[in-house]
Structures are given as structure tokens and as C-alpha cells.
Amino acid sequence: MTASTTTPSGDDAPLLAVDGLSVQFQTRRGTAHVLDEVGFTLARGQTLGLVGESGCGKSMTALAMMRLIPQPPGRIAAGSVRLHGRELLALPEAEMRRVRGNRLSMIFQEPMTSLNPVFTIGEQIAESVRLHLGLDRRAALAHAVDMLAAVGIPAPARRAHDYPHHFSGGMRQRAMIAMALACSPDALIADEPTTALDVTVQAQIFDLMAELRERTGTAILLITHDMGAVAEMADRVAVMYAGRIVEEGGVHDILERPLHPYTQGLVACAPGRRRTAPGETLREIPGTVPSLLRRAEACAFAERCEHARPLCRQRPPPGSQPASGRRVRCWLYPETTPADTASPA
């Protein structure tokens, strides 16, 4: 279930298009199929929430799009990533460096390992601004201070001269967000952007991202475990399992009427998304994610699915569109007819 390989033209073209993206890692035990034909599109000003349990491939999707897969042992085995119709996977590395942090930016999940410990926070933000926006040193530092203020860093003019180890974990995360937003990118990948932040600061960061989206038309890929954040920020949702996108649709449809059994389980076990009776515990999905050392030749979710049929363990399910705007990879919805959209009991 990948995005169309046909690139639309003019205003109908998506700002960002990922098609058939596959990533493999060579290990001592064999080849790990980390991503398998991942595909989605993002329009200008749109937010797509990418959700799934830990280890399903969400962050690896982001790193592949940025061409930051460690090689070796990893490699992009197939696929396409197009920004404004421009194929990023084919760009020379020097050209790709001009895209990163400028046209395509990313908020990394681990700020302490992403920030350089020997440069001040202000210098690191200003470096990107000087490189991509052509500002002189003083103007770039002033812009860095403005961005630190925008993400809620107190006394930003002074704290811009501090080093990463002077910042708390939450403040380092905010500094990473300031760096990612400094050049007003066309597309922003936000990988768990509010990790380690309290609820008040989370709301502030989401407001900042929403303001950027409305002001500049930035498209946002929001990678998160938080269904509340998805409900607040996303226009569409893509659900990932074992390196594949198993369902995609509008945020209301996905959260209120999920089709794929995995999506149903994911929504049901999210606090706040399902009412529980007194004393009733949240529902959990039984079993564990299958090994990625063998490419799934059938449905990867079959062993955990209460609706699994013999066919589910024999062949991979097709990517179908059972309703307008919905995509699902499941044998319960083999055809593209609206009558098949009722969720299984």
C-alpha cells in the first residue's frame, strides 16, 4: 500500500511524497527488513500523524527521508522521497545538505545526542540560519535568540550563550525545536517533539507548530505515541506496524471508526480514547511484534489478530481503498467498495 508513483503536476502535486520506501539493515543474524514499501503524501499546510508502537519503524521512516540512515549497516533498498517533485534520494550529498534544515527539517527525539556539546545553543541555531538564510553572524544570533524566546526559553539572550549541558532535558528539546523551525521549512518532521516536556510547554509547542503551518504553509509529519496530540494536530493519520503502513485516513475516521484490527487495538488501549467501566483496565494487544529478520510474506499482524483467517497467514493482504480517503492493508477489506467499511465486531 504505497503512494501513487505518478507525480501530479501544478497545484495538485503534493508538497512531499514518499513512495515504496524500503530500508534494510544487515545484522549478524541476517537482513532486517525495517521498512517495507512505506508510502504517503503531504500537502502544503497539512499535518500527517504517523503512529504505532515502539520499534514499528516510525523514526526510521524519518531518518530515511532525511537520508540519515547509518550506512553500513543500513541502506535504502528501494523507494522514492520527493519534495516539490524533486527526488531527494538521488541528490548528491552536497545538495542534500542544502535541503536539510532548510526546505526539509527535523525535530529529533534525542536532543542530548543531537546537539553538539562543544558549541553554545545560540551558535548551533545561528549556524543553520547563516548557512541557509545568508544572514551575517550578528543577525543570525539575533534570530536564534528570537527562536529561543518563541519556544519558551527564559532569558533567551543570556541562555543562547549556554552549552547543552547547562540546559535541562526539556529545555534541550525546546532548543532542538527552535533549530528545526529557524528557517521556516517547507516540510517539518517532528519525531516525538514534546517528549520530556510538561503539559503546559507541550501546548505551547503545538501552538507554535500550528502557527508556523498557518503562516508559511509548512507540511508537518508528526511522529507520536500520543493519540491526544494526533487528535489536536493532525489532519490525517497513518498507522504503522512492523515496518508497513496498515491504515491511513482522516483523523476523525481513524480515531472514531478504525478499520484495521491493529488500529482498533491501538485506539482502544490509548488512555482517553475509550471509556472504561469502574474497575475495568485498558485493553491491550496480545502477543509481540514479529521479527524483522524475515520479510513478512503474509500479514505481519496475523498471529496477534482475533479476526485472522487462514488466508491471512498465507499471503500479504492487498492495499485497498474501502472508502473515499481511506487506505487499509487487511484481508477483511479486499475490495474498494464502500459497503465493506463496517468495522469487524
Give the distance from CA 111 to its chain's centroid: 17
Is it the case that residue 339 has pLDDT exceeding 50?
Answer: no
Is it the case that residue 278 has pLDDT exceeding 90?
Answer: no
The residue that leads in pLDDT, 25 or 289, is 25
The residue that leads in pLDDT, 169 or 300, is 300
Q: Which residues contact 10 (CB under 8 A, 6 or more apart)?
A: none
HEC assignment per residue over 67-127: CCCCCCCEEEEEEEEEECCEEHHHCCHHHHHHHECCCEEEECCCHHHHCCCCCCHHHHHHH
- Cell digits of residue 306: 482475533
Per-residue pLDDT at 14: 87
Per-residue pLDDT at 209: 84
Q: What is the mean pLDDT of residues 249-273?
A: 86
Is it the case that residue 55 has pLDDT exceeding 80?
Answer: yes
Per-residue pLDDT at 277: 54
Q: What is the mean pLDDT of residues 165-193?
A: 88
Helices then strands (H, E): number in the chain?
11, 12
- Closest alpha carbon to 236 in 55, 42, 29: 42
Highest mean pLDDT among 86-100, 166-180, 209-223, 306-320: 86-100
Identify the band that residue 196 occupies on the pLDDT scale cut at 50, 70 and 90: low
Is it the case that residue 2 has pLDDT exceeding 60?
Answer: no
Give the distance from CA 143 to its chain's centroid: 27
- Cell digits of residue 68: 540519515
The CA distances from residue 20 to 79, 102, 177, 227, in Å, are 4, 25, 29, 26
Per-residue pLDDT at 271: 67
Element (H or E) spanning 62, and its range? helix 58-65
Is it the case that residue 9 has pLDDT exceeding 60?
Answer: no
52 Rama sector, left if φ>0, alpha if ψ -120 to 50, beta otherwise: left
Q: Tell me if 190 sits within 8 A of 104, measured CB to CB.
A: no
Side chain identity, residue 44: R
* DSSP-based three-state secondary structure for 46: coil
Is it the case that residue 221 has pLDDT exceeding 90?
Answer: yes
Q: Under CATH, what is the fold of the domain 14-103+235-274+282-338?
A: Rossmann fold (3.40.50)
3-state percent helix, strand, coil for the chain, nearest multiple of 5 = 35, 20, 45
The H-assigned helical ranges of 134-260 are: 137-150, 156-159, 169-181, 199-216, 227-233, 251-256
Q: How much of the chain exceeds pLDDT 70, in percent? A: 88
Identify the band that residue 214 occupies on the pLDDT scale cut at 50, 70 and 90: confident
Is it the case that residue 280 has pLDDT exceeding 70?
Answer: no
Q: Tell me if 107 sits within 8 A of 191, measured CB to CB.
A: yes
Identify the band that residue 7 occupies on the pLDDT scale cut at 50, 70 and 90: very low
Give domain limits for the chain: 14-103+235-274+282-338
Per-residue pLDDT at 342: 47
pLDDT per position as a tens digit, 113-138: 788 899 999 999 999 899 898 899 99
Q: What is the dihedral of CA 184, 187, 189, 193, to 10 degrees?
A: 40
The residue that leads in pLDDT, 4 or 47, is 47
Q: What is the mean pLDDT of residues 25-43?
A: 91
Q: At what angle do helices 137-150 and 121-133 cross, to 10 degrees?
A: 120
State how far the Cα of 274 lies from the Cα of 326, in Å rounded to an integer.
22
The CA distances from residue 299 to 7, 19, 62, 311, in Å, are 29, 20, 24, 9
Average model confidence (pLDDT) across the chain? 85
Q: Which of 112-121, 239-248, 250-259 has the lowest mean pLDDT?
A: 112-121
Identify the band that residue 279 occupies on the pLDDT scale cut at 50, 70 and 90: low
State how far the Cα of 171 lies from the Cα of 159, in Å rounded to an integer.
10
* DSSP-based three-state secondary structure for 23: strand
Side chain identity, residue 81: V
- Cell digits of residue 60: 526510521
* DSSP-based three-state secondary structure for 273: coil
Per-residue pLDDT at 48: 96
User: What pTM was estimated for this model as a whole?
Assistant: 0.85
Q: How much of the chain exceeds pLDDT 90, in percent? A: 45
